Amino acid sequence: MNSNPDISHGLPVNSENTLYEQGIQSEAHAYQNDHAVSMNTLQTTSQVSFEDDMGKLPLETRRALVQLLSGPLIDGRRHPKAWDVVLRDELALRSFLHELFLDLVLDRDQQVAFLRQVSSTEADIPILLRRNTLSFVETALLLFLRQRLTQADTQGERAVLDLQEMLEHLKAFERSDNVDQARFSKQCDAAVEKAKKLGLVRKLANTQERFEVSPALKLLFPAEEIEMLTRAYEGALNGQNAMEAGAGTSQDDNEEADA
């Protein structure tokens, strides 16, 4: 069993949540009836940005589009202007993205928007989104962050933790026979940096290395994925080689996986 998930802009590949997708579709239809801004209206407000500009979308809408394509996500709390544009021009953005075989994942409650590669059994769809494979240590950190987010939600609090808490958690996964502690420490530091890069944690202003976990993790790690990962990593903590037992690979192999 390979517990290292592939992600597109932070989203685990092949982790489909049918009920969530149906909710997104229903939400989009409701938004279309009540709040949609038509493409014709957008075209009338389009601004020329450069010589021979043939674009139809307003400048601010294009900027939001580029931010979505650049990834990993738009966080309404961190990017309020872009978030407002995404809400206002949702249908226009979806229409454009569908031309590229991409879907807009939008959660208004969590104020998170990101892209997902569409899939089809009827057409040969080219892949546009960059995919990353998380290492063993990186996956252990993301699972820890997801669990902290769940605990905070239960208590009605924000999921806030410091750098040392993350590093101490990862230390538990260091093998007792490890002779290269410096290398393992670098892997732990890299895992934290990866979480920052993916927008899964953000440093709190005016604090000493304190971070808040992004609500986006609720969308990125559905319940079934958490259960699978938890079993694998609990096995590792108990001194079992979860990777060899499940997929025939060692922890070192996963630590060397492409990120």
pLDDT value at 185 more than 50: yes
Per cent of the chain over pLDDT 70 is: 71
What is the amino acid identity at position 225?
A: E
Q: CA nearest 145: which of 75, 196, 107, 91?
A: 196
> What's the pLDDT score for residue 48?
61
**Nearest CA to 9 among 123, 111, 127?**
127
Q: Which residue has the higher pLDDT, 256 or 91?
A: 91
* Better pLDDT: 12 or 159: 159
The answer to whether residue 239 scores a pLDDT higher than 70 is no
Q: Residue 110, exposed/middle/buried by CB under 10 A (0-12, 13-18, 19+)?
A: middle
Domains of the chain are: 6-129 (no CATH), 134-255 (1.10.10)
Residue 19 has pLDDT above 60, yes or no: no
Q: What is the pLDDT of residue 236?
A: 67
Rounded CA-CA distance 249/1 in Å is 9
Q: Is the pLDDT of residue 76 over 60?
A: yes
Kindly give the residue spans of alpha helices, DSSP state H, lying in 129-216.
136-155, 163-171, 181-197
Name the nearest CA neighbour of 143 among 226, 27, 31.
226
Give the predicted TM-score (pTM) of the model. 0.64
The pLDDT of residue 160 is 94
Which is more confident, 124 or 65?
A: 65
pLDDT tops 70 at residue 254: no
Most confident of 16-30, 41-55, 180-194, 239-253: 180-194
Q: What angle do CA 91, 95, 198 make, to 5 degrees?
A: 85
User: Given a cut of 60, is residue 220 above it in pLDDT?
Assistant: yes
Order of all β-strands in the sheet with 6-8: 11-12, 6-8, 131-133
Q: Which two tokens stand for residue 127?
A: 């892949």
Q: Examine the pLDDT at 111 and tell me if it is beyond 80.
A: yes
